[in-house]
A and B are shown apart, each in its own frame.
Chain A
Amino acid sequence: MPSRTVSHGSSGRLRGLFLVMVLVFLEGSVFTLAVASSDQHSPTTAHSDGHKATDHGSHNNTGKAFPVLDLNYENVRVPFEISLWVLLASLMKLGFHLVPHLSNIVPESCLLIVVGLLVGGIIRGTGEKVPPVLNSQLFFYILLPPIILDAGYFLPIRPFMENLGTILIFAVVGTLWNAFFVGGLLYGVCQIGTESSSILSRIGLLQCLLFGSIISAVDPVAVLAVFEEIHINELLHILVFGESLLNDAVTVVLYHLFEEFSGIGSVTLLNGFLGVISFFVVALGGVLVGVIYGILAAFTSRFTSHTRVIEPLFVFLYSYMAYLTAEIFHLSGIMALIACGAVMRPYVEANISHKSHTTIKYFLKMWSSVSETLIFIFLGVATVAGPHDWNWTFVTVTVILCLIARVIGVVGLTFIINKFRIVKLTTKDQFIIAYGGLRGAIAFSLGFLLEKKHFPEREIFLTAIITVIFFTVFVQGMTIKPLVELLAVKKKQEAKRSINEEIHTQFLDHLLTGIEDICGHYGHHHWKDKLNRFNKKYVKKCLIAGERSKEPQLIAFYHKMEMKQAIQLVESGGGIKLPSAMPSTVSMQNIQPRPPTKPAAERAIPQLSKTKEEEIRKILRTNLQRTRQRLRSYNRHTLVADPYEDGLSDLLLKKQKMFQIEKKLKEMNTYLTVPAPPPDSPTMCRARLASDPQAYSIKPASNKVPMIQVDLASPQSPDSVNLLDEFGQANQQEEEEQGLMMKPPSRPREGSSGRATAGVAISKQSSHSPLTSDRNQYQI
């Protein structure tokens, strides 16, 4: 007990220390930034000073003493500031989770905005001008793409496609409705509700519509930030999130349309019509650009088997290029990015190594996390920076109208959509969709982009936008979690995808396609099936390297699962204590057909299931085998191939050869009777093996002979071959030292030992079927 309290106390003290350090650092960084920003505003003098200083330093005309320690901040200023901001953001993220109950009540986005406000306040408080950090260039080209790429790359394709119609209707029709409703009514209010001399009445219809289109778009960053924490079911998540992604096209078109023509003051019908066409061009063009770059990326990844180190770079570069290319033509960059990520993913994942896959995943998560944090902090800072023009009428009317528009839009559209859906959207669903329509930094940046000379009311707009953002993020963001609990909305199912579900899902797909064919009905199963077949036949051959192109989905899934299991085992230390993913004592033996005779030796109840045991042994073996290779220096140029994935095709080939040899041996004699085993308990033997893999000797197998009988009894089991091995036990020791070699069976005796080596080889190499190796265990 005392030790525990001591450790508690010390961890508490450590936490406190860390927080103090964070605060001190915060102060320091803010001060530096303030100093830096003051430098920013006296550039000429600083410059000349700097020049003079360097002049002095380099030429030393006056004969000063050589400066031992010199200060030169100017050169480092920009990268230093950037790093400082990023570091601040990351420390904040750490800090939140140290404070005990904060992250449960308040979503992270709110906290970050508050931090931004504080930082901005401190900067202003020290009398310096707040740096305009959230300029649109930085936002759109640096901060936004990682978040969108992360979303697009890991987009769950199946629910997205199944609900695509619904998502599109919400995104396109919903956003249009919102924009026109808010813009139109706002104009009405401005004209009618105020005196003619007030600034509001000078806002034209088009400006109002522009404002409406900026404010009406649901923001993917805010949605992600809030929805990540509430874990609602997949359907609602994909609906709101999909909407926030796809409404970018609408926003882009409306924004450009109204911005172009707000100077003129009216939009002719022709231009309106062109606007509609432009929408299709923007949306489909964006997707097309994304698809092209995605295919390029997939194609490139086909050839990266020798330079695994830079594989992730291709993914990032191609995606970013897709985004930038779309932006060149004023197409929808977000849609391009999503399309690129979604298209390239299946092919790239089949081609790249497991490590690259992990790298991509973690880099994307890291970048998007940092981006998101920075965006919210900058929002806070920008709020303090202003410039603001607070107009009570405008702001309150905007907020109210936004809410009303959203609710009416969602309810109305759901009414129409439900006529076409099988799984209808209930009232609860509608409420969550409406409530989840958060606005975020994209709206602010778009507002920021407006030029003051064309839009004298820019500041009113900005203030209103910020107020709406604050309202949605704080009020809606904070209350959505308790509301979800209150309404008992279905949450995300935590269950992992099992192999059974995968098998039956595929079975169901084929079944439904078949029934559709029998009905003669070309339904969407039919087309999906056609697309899959086209994909398999042509596309996969081009874009996936080597053997993997022929691998059916079920097998790929199975291999992935096995790999995950194996890695899990290694990470858990490979010891006896296993993660209780499957806390059952069921093992292969329980499902193989029952033997007619009972084994003579009574087996002790195993502590682990056999499969897991075999896995452990296998992994320990492989790791020890590879020790020599690992100790070589980790030169980038000679990155050692990962034993688990790179030899896949070799493994498959070896397995095939194995099988053929097994067949050949089968044709040789098969003895049915074997001498009774010496009573060496299986547990002992297994314990020995588990602890000392090098002593993985084959000789104690004789007591396993009864097991062999088991397998022989089952018809057509390849294990029936294994009987032969027990006679070639004597010279097993030196065989297994050679490890992974396969000797061709030259003599029957040799043959069996060669077979046993092959058997050993199987169990070492085949990290792909724990069950096959489990069977092999019997022979050893």
Chain B
Amino acid sequence: MGASQTRLEHNYDDLTEKSGFSHEQIKNLYQRFQQLSGNNEKISRDDLERIPALNNNPIRKQIITAFFDKRNQHQNDVGSLDEIGFEQFLMVMSHFRPVNSKATEEEKATVRKQKLRFLFNMHDTDNDGIITLDEYRTVVEELLSQSGAIETEVARAIADAAMLEVASTNVPHMAPDDFYEGITFEHFEQILKGIEMESRMYIRFLDMNAATMRCGKLSS
């Protein structure tokens, strides 16, 4: 434990630079990481799936997959990992940092793009750069999956209506034989410009400390 601690301290500056968290926050997150992984070096999917609080979440599969998705590592890589180390954990978490209020408009735009990209990757499961109708349908079905007996008809209808709306706002004049491939990242940005992502998509990491952390029944 001692050796890994000192090793970690050397890396703090490195990690701060890459992820933007402060030393305090990194320490807290590391503690959580240890809890989740059972003091191992890496977390696997099972570790995350064991978190009891996630059971009620309708999109838990997508969330867990996002952690193991290489695209979220800011490294232009594709594919998925089986296990992630602390650094990768941190990189995924950095998407949820609140934007610095003193940032310039340009920086805010970059942060916003980053967050939207994260969301986009969660929907675009086959990584072809567009969200097709089927992928969108899956999203809606997952969202409604926790609510009891849903007719898939309604879920489909909703997804279709939403897709139609995206198509109409972005490509308003299509000939009847044209085919709208799917939602590209630009269209995605366009339809979500009403929601201020940079101020909505954040977790208050500031007052997180070990006392408020619960890890549930993770004893391995």
A423 touches which of B29, B96, B199 (Cβ 8 Å): B199
Closest to B136 in A: A503
| Chain A residues with CB below 8 A from B32, complex form | 519-520
Q: Whole-angstrom distance from the CB of A706 to the nearest CB of chain B?
A: 12
Contacts of A510 on B, CB cut-off 8 Å?
Answer: 57-59, 143
The reply to whether B167 and A515 contact each other, CB–CB distance below 8 Å, is no
Are B151 and A656 closer than 8 Å at their CB atoms?
yes
Please give the distance in Å from B68's CB to the nearest CB on chain A.
13
**Contact: A511 with B59, CB < 8 Å?**
yes
Interface residues of B in 4-43 (CB under 8 A from A): 29, 32, 35-36
A495 proximal to B (CB < 8 A): yes
How many A-B residue pairs have C-beta atoms within 8 angstroms? Tell me.
Answer: 195
List CB contacts (< 8 Å) of B154-168 with chain A: 154, 157-158, 160-168
Question: Which of the segments A116-124, A299-307, A583-591 contacts the partner chain?
Answer: A583-591
Which residues of the partner chain A approach B168 to less than 8 Å between Cβ atoms? Answer: 582, 584, 586
* A504–B165 alpha-carbon span in the complex (Å): 14
Are A504 and B195 in contact, with the CB atoms below 8 A? yes
A498 touches B153 (CB 8 A): no
- B200 near A508: Cβ-Cβ < 8 Å: yes
Would you give the 0/1 interface string for A584-611, flagging 1 where the beta carbon is closer than 8 Å to chain B? 1111111111100010000101100001
A116 to B175, CA, bound (A): 61
Chain B interface size, as a band, is: 35 or more
Residues of chain A within 8 A (CB-CB) of B139 are 503, 507
Which of these, B157, B162, B201, contacts A508 with CB under 8 Å? B201
Contact of A506 with B by CB under 8 A:
yes
Asked if residues A586 and B180 are in contact (CB atoms below 8 Å), the reply is yes
When each residue 728-750 of chain A gets 1 if its CB lies under 8 Å from chain B and 0 otherwise, what string results? 00000000000000000000000
Tally of chain A residues near chain B (CB < 8 A) = 67
Does A45 have its Cβ within 8 Å of any Cβ on chain B?
no
The reply to whether the CB of A512 lies closer than 8 angstroms to some CB of chain B is: yes
Give chain A nearest CB distance to B158 CB in angstroms: 5
**B101 interface residue, CB < 8 Å from A?**
yes
Within 8 A of A (CB), among B129-175: 133, 139-140, 143-144, 147-151, 153-154, 157-158, 160-169, 171-175
* Residue pair A501, B143 in contact (C-beta under 8 Å): no
CB of B203 to closest CB in A, whole Å:
6
- B81 interface residue, CB < 8 Å from A? no
Q: Does B3 contact A (CB under 8 A)?
A: no
Residues of A within 8 A of B217 (CB): none
**B176 to A606, Cβ gap below 8 A?**
yes
Chain B: interface secondary structure?
helix
A15 to B151, CA, bound (A): 56
Contact among A423, A500, A603 for B162, CB-based, below 8 A: A500
Of residues 111 to 149 in A, which have CB atoms within 8 Å of B's CB atoms? none
**A684 beta carbon closer than 8 Å to chain B:** no
Q: Are A772 and B144 in contact (CB under 8 A)?
A: no
Tell me which residues from 431 to 474 in chain A have a Cβ below 8 Å from any Cβ of chain B. none
Q: Which residues of chain A are near B202, meaning CB under 8 Å?
A: 422
Query: Is B91 an interface residue, CB under 8 A from the partner?
Result: no
The answer to whether A659 has its CB under 8 Å from any CB of chain B is: yes
Contact of B157 among A500, A529, A769 (CB under 8 A): A769
A493 to B194, CA, bound (A): 9
> How far apart are B192's CB and chain A's nearest CB, in angstroms?
6
CA distance A424 to B143 in the complex (A): 32
| Interface contact A584-B172, CB-CB below 8 Å | yes
Digitize A506-535: 1 where CB-to-B-CB distance is under 8 Å, 0 elsewhere.
Answer: 111011111111111111111001000100
Inter-subunit contact B160/A659 (CB<8 Å): no
Does A67 lie at the interface of the complex (its beta carbon under 8 Å from any beta carbon of B)?
A: no
CA distance A529 to B55 in the complex (A): 12
Interface residues of A in 743-780 (CB under 8 A from B): 769-772
Stretch binding the partner chain, chosen from A196-204, A320-328, A550-558: A550-558
Any B CB within 8 A of the CB of A388? no
The 3 closest A-B pairs by CB, nearest first: A552-B147, A520-B213, A584-B172
**8 pairs, A vs B, C-beta closer than 8 Å:** A422-B98, A500-B165, A520-B35, A522-B214, A524-B204, A558-B161, A592-B133, A659-B153
